[in-house]
Every structure is written in C-alpha cells, then in structure tokens.
Amino acid sequence: MIPAARIQATIEILEEVASGGPADGVASGYFRGRRYIGSSDRSTIAESVYAILRRRARLDWWINLVLERSPDSPPPPPRHRMIANLILDENWSEARFTTEFNGDSYRPAALSRAERQLLLNLSGQSLDDSRQPEWVQSEMPDWFLQRFKSQYPEADATARASLNHPAAMDLRVNRLRGDRERALAEIKAIGVSAAATELSPLGIRVGGRPALARYPLFQSGLVEIQDEGSQLIALLTEAVGGMKLLDYCAGAGGKTLALAAEMGNRGRIIASDISAKRLDRASQRLKRAGVHNVELRALTADNAKWFKRQASSFDRVLVDAPCSGSGTWRRNPDMKWKFSPVEIAELRQRQGDILRDAARFVKPGGGRLIYSTCSLLPEENDQIIEAFLVEHPGAFRQVSVASIWPRAVATAMPSGVGMSMQLSPHLHGTDGFFCAVLERCGDAIVV
C-alpha cells in the first residue's frame, strides 16, 4: 500500500471505533474484509490507530484550541485527529498534505477549510504543552484521574503515564502440555526474546509482538496468551483435581483453560456465560490445549432448570465480573472514553447482582466464591465485596489472599496483596487485576 492509503485505512478504522466499536475488534474485522492488505501494512496501520487513540486527549485539546471549539463540544472527527497527529508528531508540511490528501487512488480527500486552519495553526507546535490540564497530559478522563490519585496518592506523572503505554505480551505455560523451561527454550529457538515472569510461576513475557500463532509451541497448546495478572486469578482459586468448579462468566475461556490445567484434567468444570457465541470461541482453544474436563453451558432459558439443580454443589465458583476494564486500558485505550461515573454506577449494580446469583452455587462448609475484575476502581472491587458480606451475614467469610499466596502461587508476594489482591500496571507491570476470595460457612442459607 502507498503511505496515503495506509492513512486512509487508519481514518476508516478510527471512524468505526468512534461509532462505538472496540478498537481490537474493529481492526480485526477491517483486515479480515481486506485480505489484500499485507502483514507489514496491517502492522503499520494498527500501530497508527493505537498511537492516535493513546494521544486522543492531547490531540483533541489542540483541535479545540486552534478551531476555537468549546471543551464541551462533541468530540472532533477522527480525520481531524489523524491530521493533527501528522502535524504534531510527524511535522507534515502543507506541500505533503497537498500531495497525499487529494482523493485519488485510495488517498484521503483534500483538506477542508477547517482542516487547513488546523495545518496553519498547528505547524511548529508539539503534542505536549504546559497549558494542558493534568487529565489531558495524563491521557485519562478527569473523573478517573481524581479516583486514581486518591487510591494511589504517591503515583506521579510517570506512574500515571504507564497506564497509557502499550502492554507487554505475556504467555501462560499449559501444564497439560509441558513446563516453563521447555516453553522458554522453544520461544528462544524461533528468535524471540523471552523471560520468566516474576509473579506467576507459569508466565513468560516475550519481547515485541511476535506472531506466535504460526509456530508449533502455540499450535500444540503448550502456551496461551494471557496477562500475568490474569494467570494469578486462576492460581488463587486453588482448584485441584477432583473438584467441581463453575466459571460463571467464562467468556472465551481464558481462565477456564488455566483452571483445567491446574486440575490436571481431573474433576469437572462448567464454563458458563450469557453469550453462547463467546463460549463457542472457547471450544477450539480447549481442544488445542488438550482439555477434556470442561462442559460449556450458556446462561440461557434453555439451561435454567439445569442450573437450578446445581445449587450449593460447587467446590469453587469463579466470577470474573464484567467491569470498566480500567486495568486493561493500556491494551484498549479507546475504552477509557466510553465510561463515565454513571456507567460505573450501573456496572456496580450488575456486579452485585452477578455475585449474588453466583453465590447460590457454592457448596456449604468450605466451598469458595472467587470474585475478580480487571478494574482499578475500588467501587468495582473491595466495595462490592463489602456490600455482599453485609447482605449475607454469617453465610460467607473473606479469606485473606495473602494467606493463600504462599501455597497457591509460591513466588515473592508483591505489594497490593492482603485481604484481597489489587495489581496495577504502574506498580506490578501487569494489567490491573483484582481478586477476593470468599468461603461459604456451614449450612447457612444463601438466597
């Protein structure tokens, strides 16, 4: 592709993202529908898309300033962001815009009057400016910045910036297929740099973004792509062979795979989700990993009677609750602008409902309910647990994650682990995962 065609493709993807689609899904769909785009061009386009999403606040600040738009105005169009980025980051000249933006041969259309004003007023400027508010410089919504500063008062600008840096690629070694030493050797044999993770005893962090799916170590199921923090959730579940386990919000099965490996394919796992389509995507992953103790059951009316019969029968129930995903905004920078305190309040209600529903399935007298999110917000994490325990006096007790860690994880315990676990990108280099463990007491009734 010519450079201008890559720019036009970037604009088209950004426009679809602005319409509400998740960036990773939009980009994947865009490339699937255009098989003629080579791997090098796909990589370049994707990098451009994510670079602009990571700079959205600063780009918008400049666009609003030079076009004399109110900060409360609707977000500027993605094409304006693309043009502003080319000026501020790559120092494009008027002559270059005239050559590349002319509407011919898959090139972007010629600049409008407002876009020429952007070019005139932004030329010679830099992306960062001392006049920018703190939330703009931090590339996060102001409401979230205030919560983050309250939770982590020691976090400086560098720490906040880590939430906007691209995340590393982590792998989990599948115990059913081999061990970490073998996986490390196979990864290094294909010329990819790799090192064992510090927190997860099963984790490997690789350099760059290698296309591992084409290599035998991935095709054989020896490794799965999974953030180090997510791997720890499965370990803290303390699932062992012979147990009956319910993965209540299994999605595409990432944690289900890890749990099955911990159980050595012995016992029974029910992977459930409200989306049958998401569960379908887990089938191929389970087969590749050599997992055969998992049953997929959608949380639909067709399965309502079956689930009703399973009350109080599971040794472990894992609730990986839907959340803001604020702990994964490094990977999904578009998502940070799709939430507000109103949406967070709605999520809290949903999280509480899901936790209450899942609690019905926990076996009395020692069964455990594990609640996790990929959020950094206390209102989606500890506060949900506190409210649940108040609602269920005497039925559940919270088990200290710090007491579980030495036997379940057996690595050096990091900061952020106590009664619950809260990881964050700036402190641990992982996504921002939360985990709390609750144990059902005696024969207390759960309604």
| Triad 346, 316, 268: Cα angle to 5° | 120
Q: How many CB atoms lie within 10 A of CB 406?
A: 10
Distance CA 15, CA 70 (A): 21
DSSP 175: T
The pairing of beta strand 434-440 with beta strand 421-422 = antiparallel
Distance CA 147, CA 344 (A): 12
CA–CA distances in Å: residue 133 to residues 11, 55, 57, 62, 355: 27, 14, 10, 12, 38
Max Cα-Cα span within the chain: 77
- The answer to whether the Cα torsion of 257, 398, 371, 244 is positive or negative is positive
Structure tokens at 433: 């995962």
| Triad 258, 439, 304: Cα angle to 5° | 70
Structure tokens at 224: 């799965």
* Strand order from edge to edge, sheet including 194-196: 194-196, 203-206, 169-173, 223-225
Catalytic residue flag (residue 374): yes
Among residues 191, 200, 198, 171, the alpha carbon closest in space to that of 183 is found at: 171
Bridge partners of residue 296, in order along the sequence: 271
Structure tokens at 390: 């108040």
Catalytic residue (one of 249, 323, 374, 435): 374
What are the phi and psi torsion angles at 136 (to 5°)? -70, -45
Bridge partners of residue 173, in order along the sequence: 223
* DSSP string over 348-401: HHHHHHHHHHHHTTBPTTT-EEEEEES---GGGTHHHHHHHHHHSTTTEEEEPH
Distance CA 349, CA 343 (A): 10
Alpha helices in 105-141 (DSSP H): 113-122, 134-138
Active site residues: 374
